[in-house]
């Protein structure tokens, strides 16, 4: 697993990034929708269609797995590969944020 071709998975869409970021513990869809809103400070909200589309893609890629069903609620968890992909996306976003911060600082603007 050390030779992961991250280009197969990245970049993650904003919604997919937040779905993975929520899954440090297994959760069902409604809980994930609420947590995405909280994690993004209200800047991102995802509906059921987007969420279940993301689940289908993430399952197919091996980044999440359905761990159980509770009264019609499917509970998903992140796989080890999913954690690696999320970490790489996070690293890439940090580089992007630093570049933007530096550009704005050079222009004397607040970042």
Closest of 24, 25, 23, 20 to residue 10, by C-alpha = 20
Residues 6+ apart with CB under 8 A from 45: 33, 36, 37
Residue 109 in this model has a pLDDT that exceeds 70: no
Closest of 92, 93, 91, 66 to residue 79, by C-alpha = 66
Q: Can you read off the two tokens belonging to residue 44? A: 């991102």
Is the bond preceding residue 2 a cis peptide, omega within 30 degrees?
no
The string of pLDDT tens digits covering residues 8-33 is 999 999 999 999 999 999 999 999 99
Phi, psi of 26 (to 5 degrees): -60, 135
Q: How many residues does the chain have?
A: 111
Q: Quick one: pLDDT at residue 1?
A: 47
Q: Quick one: pLDDT at residue 56?
A: 95
Domain extent listing, the chain: 11-106
The string of pLDDT tens digits covering residues 46-105 is 999 999 999 999 999 999 999 999 888 999 999 999 999 999 999 999 999 999 999 988
Q: Quick one: pLDDT at residue 110?
A: 64
- Distance from chain centroid for Cα 37: 13
Q: What CATH code would you report for 11-106?
A: 1.10.10.10
Q: Quick one: pLDDT at residue 2?
A: 65
Write down the residue that tokens 């280009």 correspond to: 7
The more confident residue out of 70 and 110 is 70
């Amino acid at each position: 697993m050390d030779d992961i071709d991250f280009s197969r998975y990245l970049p993650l869409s904003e919604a997919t990034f937040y779905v993975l970021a929520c899954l440090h513990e297994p959760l069902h869809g409604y809980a994930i929708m609420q947590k995405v809103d909280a994690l993004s400070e209200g800047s991102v909200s995802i509906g059921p269609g987007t969420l279940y589309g993301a689940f289908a893609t993430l399952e197919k890629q091996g980044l999440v797995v359905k761990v159980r069903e509770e009264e019609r609620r499917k509970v998903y968890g992140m796989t080890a590969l999913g954690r690696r992909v999320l970490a790489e996306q996070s690293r890439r976003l940090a580089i992007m944020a630093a570049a933007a911060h530096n550009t704005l600082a050079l222009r004397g603007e607040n970042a």
